[in-house]
Chain A
Amino acid sequence: MTAPGGGALATRGGATVRRMKWSLELSLGNSSRSRGDRQSKDGDVMYPVGYSDKPVPDTSVQEADRNLVEKRCWDVALGPLKQIPMNLFIMYMSGNTISIFPIMMVCMMAWRPIQALMSMSATFKLLESSSQQWLQGLVYLIGNLLGSALAVYKCQSMGLLPTHSSDWLAFIEPPQRLEIMGGGMVM
């Protein structure tokens, strides 16, 4: 009997741990064990090495599963678009005043699409199994872009974008004077 097999390697807690770090128990019949072990005791005892009590899945591809995959992929792709109405509602509710909550909302709204766009490749990997991978990818991209556009719009309506001349006022250097002038009342 080898360790990874039916023999239980007592690495977890229990009364024995206090005495020794680990021990290999060869007599499996003994029931002086912790509760967790006891639950699977019957299985350990009954089944031989390599036996799995889970049913082996049917790996043969079926038509219905393919549809499911498609559907699942479309779910992923359409996710950002579906969030837009919700975002619009939040935007409307939070108003245009600059305070901590609207700012947090805007940050979240802007950050999520950007995050999603950053992890585009991961999403693509997810969509790999789909036949309409490219279309779905495009939809996903557009959805995220729309989301970020919405965030930008929100920033704009809150006045956070430097689009006015007053936003650049602080950077104007004082003009250099060309003439030197002085004088005063006749002393």
Chain B
Amino acid sequence: MAWLVVRLAISVSLFYTASAVFEDQVGKFDWRQQFIGKVRFALFDTHSQASKKLLVATDKNVFASLNSRTGDLFWRHVDKTGPEGHIDALLMYGQDAVVVAGNGRLLRSWETTVGGLKWETVLDTGSFQAAALVGVQDFVKYVAVLKKSAISLHDLSSGSQIWVENLPDSDTVQYQTIYSGGNGLVFVFGVVPNSHIVIVEYKIEDGEIMNKKSVEAAWMSSLESSCTVISSGILLCVDQITQSLYTLLLQSAEQTEMRQIHLQTLDLEVASGFQPVLTSTQPNPAQPPLSEFFLQLSPDHHILLQLKDGLIVPLRDFNPSYLAAFATSGERTVAAVMSPKNDTACSINLFSADTGRRHLDTTIIYHMDPNGGKPNRLYVHAFLKKDDSVGYRVMVQTEDLTLTFLQQPGRVVWMREEALADVVTMEMIDLPFTGTQAELEGEFGKKAAIQDGLLPMVLKRLSSQFILLQAWLAHLWKLFYDARKPRSSVKNEVNIDTLSRDEFNLQKMMVMVTASGKLFGIDSKSGTILWKQYLENIEPNSVFKLIVQRTTAHFPHPPQCTLLIKNKDTGLGNLYVFNPIFGKKSQISVPALPRPVLQTLLLPVIDQDYAKVLLLIDDQYKVTTFPSTKNILQQLQDTASSIFFYLVDSSQGKLSGFRLRKDLSTELIWEVVIPTEVQKIVAVKGKRANEHVHSQGRVMGDRSVLYKYLNPNLLAVITESTDTHHERSFVGIFLIDGVTGRIVHEAVQRKAKGPVHFVHSENWVVYVYWNSKFRRNEFSVLELFEGAELYNSTVFSSLDRPHPPQVLQQSYIFPAPISTLEATLTEKGITSRHLLVGLPSGNILSLPKMFLDPRRPEVVSEQSREENLIPYAPEMPIRDEWFINYNQTVSRVRGIHTAPSGLESTCLVVAYGLDIYQTRVFPSKQFDVLKDDYDYVLISSVLFGLFFATMISKRLAEVKLLNRAWR
């Protein structure tokens, strides 16, 4: 018996050794794109002139360095998600970048050239307020961190704490900002709202409080955006209600009250309802800031002001202007201002900060994307040119999270679409046929054949053949033309106009919906963004559902996708209908949705334009149809009795099933209540609509058949216990028929915890949970069989299933945590299935379903061997060659999307998270394709050789026969 097991194990292992990619296949059909997220801090490395570094910290807790010439990543550090890894501040001095992370928990210093960590210090608890570099005598030596109740000073080169001091009266005063002008003192500003400002002065050497004063400021509520320090220690504040600027000399003992300067005296006025913003600049932390500052009076009005001898002088008024920023190169500080030019473009100009005079020939034209958002952040990189004039480049961030890097006179150096760091949902759409293919399609379309007679059909046929010939000749000519060009320039440019389906439908359009409300159309072969569309006014917590109503198969009707956007707060939804290939908004009239939408249901019923019908169920369980033509309503009346839908309300622990009535209202037909005090429903999954199962059963060792229980209406419901104690927690799984509400099976995994990831497909459900008793991840598989006989082999009706299915279950230990789970999908379902497991390490594991088979025997028998069942082993193996993305790890993988291709052996896989990775997998290897290394030359030369040898020998034999006959 033992040798049998060994032999089997060897044969199985041999079977799978070649599933990884070969070295020369790297990047051939896969690609990865890395993203960083919405930029919160961006700093240009001005340390040396030739530096190309751009340091960014983002809301995705990513700290990265970009190449400012190409936009590529030099390095990237991905911290923990959530508030634990939140980047609070980014400061840079020379080669060091100091980052405060995790709400002031960690202070880190990074070496910027290679991204290595220099030191890390754990700070005391307390919520973070501000951080600043502190310089002494032209040298920046320290970094000061202000928390809610304490201030600490750290050495910049080692991170060691110099001193930490508790702030006086920290329970009443809100300390918010910090300032140091290089004169041996650190100022901390706090505010008691609508009462007074507190200024505390610390000595750098030992943290001794040198001075503490409070200044009356009844109008002030927050310091952060309305106050700044300018010109050798003058606190400047702005208030909208009193329409005034206030100044306060920090180091004078006699001034106990802020000096008020009415904006009217400067002929200025703050727009009503707008909180004015002050922007100053401190080019060197060891020196006091400049006396020039920007005052933003309305969203598109900035003014450059200067404080001179206690008087505020306007230097230049920028009206209108969207954005303004300071930048310093060497000793010269400039201000860049973005102003609208016309409807589609903005111009950015450079002004000298101290005079407000415009620099000549410094205009950059920024063309706004008509499908994008408005610019909302401007980062300027100024540098000195050879002739000692100031040159600059800018990085513009827009509302739709596009980073555009521009240089004079408006050339876009690079662009990054950071919205893609947060993909919510996606679909893969077949590309349309080329014109010629479509011509053929049109010719043999059903409609055409009925309308035309014989002769027109022949003529049509001839003309389409002629067009095909023409296309082929054009293709040949292009080949010939390209062959003469140097190789590098031939690179296949993907263009939206030349987009067409390839031979095996391997190239598709990836339609991605991002959390920021930007839609993308990406070519799956190269990863090129072919179209993008920003939907404005999307609430940050909206829910999206993408539905493909019409595929490309119905030429000449364009494909049609519908995006349902539901606002979580109001519950109201709206539909956005677009063409997924070109990204254009469709002109079809969309039904108004006056009531909150609960769910949608895509019916296989099609209207005369071949669009599938979408049903939208509102909170009164009424149904809206889209499209809603007469034809559709007629069809719906006919089929209404067979349309069912289910709703799962996890807050009430209720599953309810409804049936559609002819008048498009609904009736409740079943309800399953899972008491919320014991367990809560965490997820529900049905089967994928485009899934095909080729084999209706499994062949047993004795050559009989075990038929699968393939209920298309089956739902897998996962629950988790409300009790989280590790001894009493459990994970439950219910298999419920969505039409009748019958509970087909239920299982409880005791001493188990979520998060549960699961896949429901064919006749099986695989789920992963955390076993809190043994502290390990476990896979469990449920498989349902009808038995040795089919109850009804022609039709499946949930209403007529007298026999319950046989359920088999087995569990395995999985030696790694997982972040997402998905199954491969192929055109006809002949290819064996693999599970794609996204690991937190960024790898994607392709795990054969064969290993997750509840029929795996504990004792090997003749029959189980005949069935090719692997003997049961509790440990699930992880082999390195099963990682489909080799070293192209996907950070924070959140979802995996699988789509069938035209080849039965091939499944397209897109993993998305912070990064996007696209590849193809071959679960049963490429049985329908010749291998890449197939020796065409050898085979064809042998064939031709044999052919000619036959010809020659035939001739020789003839001659010989003739000669013999003559003898």
Contact = CB atoms under 8 A, between A and B. Distances in A.
Given A166-B700, A179-B713, A186-B598, A174 B693 contact: yes
B712 A187 contact: no
Contacts of A183: 599, 601, 617, 645-648, 738
Contacts of B797: 177-179
B541 to A, nearest CB: 12
A180 interface: yes
B315 to A, nearest CB: 53
Contacts of B648: 183-186
Contacts of B693: 174
A182 interface: yes
Contacts of A175: 710, 792-796
Given A169-B697, A180-B639, A181-B644, A186 B599 contact: yes
A99 interface: no
Contacts of B697: 166, 169, 172
A178 B796 contact: yes
A172 B646 contact: no
A28 to B, nearest CB: 21
B624 to A, nearest CB: 14
B235 interface: no
B545 interface: yes
Nearest to B682: A185
Contact of B966 (A13, A169, A182): A13
- By size class, the interface of chain A is 20 to 34
Interface in B638-653: 639, 642-650
Contacts of A186: 598-599, 647-650
Contacts, number: 124
Given A17-B966, A185-B684, A180 B796 contact: no
A159 interface: yes
Interface in B603-649: 603-605, 617, 639, 642-649
B389 to A, nearest CB: 57
A180 B566 contact: no
A187 B796 contact: no
B696 A169 contact: yes
A183 B796 CA distance: 19
A54 interface: no
A93 interface: no
A61 interface: no
A185 B650 contact: yes
Nearest to A180: B643
A184 to B, nearest CB: 6
A187 to B, nearest CB: 5
Contacts of A167: 703
B739 interface: yes
Contacts of B705: 164-166, 169
Contacts of A166: 697, 699-700, 703-705
A160 B602 CA distance: 46
A181 B713 contact: yes
A86 interface: no
Given A165-B704, A182-B602, A177 B796 contact: yes
A179 B644 CA distance: 7
Nearest to B796: A175
B601 A178 contact: no
A3 interface: no
B695 interface: yes
A82 B117 CA distance: 91
Contacts of A181: 643-646, 686, 712-713, 738-739, 798
B829 to A, nearest CB: 9
Contact of A13 (B573, B790, B967): B967
A187 B597 contact: yes
A179 B800 CA distance: 11
A90 to B, nearest CB: 25
Contact of A182 (B598, B686, B694, B792): B686
Contacts of B649: 185-186
Nearest to B681: A185
Interface in B536-561: 543, 545
B566 A187 contact: yes
Contacts of B600: 182
B799 interface: yes
A162 to B, nearest CB: 10
Most buried by B among A170, A173, A183: A183
Contacts of A12: 967
A176 interface: yes
Contacts of A178: 642, 795-797, 799
Contacts of B793: 172-173, 175
Nearest to B737: A181
Contacts of A176: 794-796
A180 B643 CA distance: 5
Interface in B689-731: 692-697, 699-700, 703-705, 710, 712-713
Contacts of B694: 170
Nearest to B597: A187
Interface in A127-144: none
Contacts of B644: 179-181
B367 to A, nearest CB: 37
Nearest to B964: A13
A17 B966 CA distance: 9
A177 B795 contact: yes
B710 to A, nearest CB: 7
Nearest to B619: A186
Given A178-B796, A181-B645, A186-B648, A159 B703 contact: yes
B1 to A, nearest CB: 21
Most buried by B among A12, A176, A177, A179: A179
Contact of B710 (A13, A159, A174): A174
B696 A172 contact: yes
Nearest to A12: B967
A166 to B, nearest CB: 4
A174 B794 CA distance: 7
A67 B604 CA distance: 82
Nearest to A11: B966
Given A166-B699, A166-B704, A183-B601, 17 more contacts: A164-B703, A165-B705, A172-B790, A174-B692, A176-B796, A177-B796, A180-B642, A182-B601, A182-B602, A182-B603, A182-B686, A184-B647, A184-B648, A185-B647, A185-B681, A187-B573, A187-B599
Interface of B: 543, 545, 564, 566, 573, 597-605, 617, 639, 642-650, 681, 683-684, 686, 692-697, 699-700, 703-705, 710, 712-713, 738-739, 790, 792-799, 966-967
Interface of A: 12-13, 17, 21, 159, 164-167, 169-170, 172-187
Q: Which 7 A-B pairs have the closest CB atoms?
A: A182-B601, A183-B645, A13-B967, A183-B646, A164-B703, A166-B699, A175-B796
14 contacts: A12-B967, A159-B703, A164-B704, A166-B699, A166-B705, A179-B739, A179-B799, A180-B639, A180-B644, A184-B647, A184-B648, A185-B648, A185-B649, A185-B681
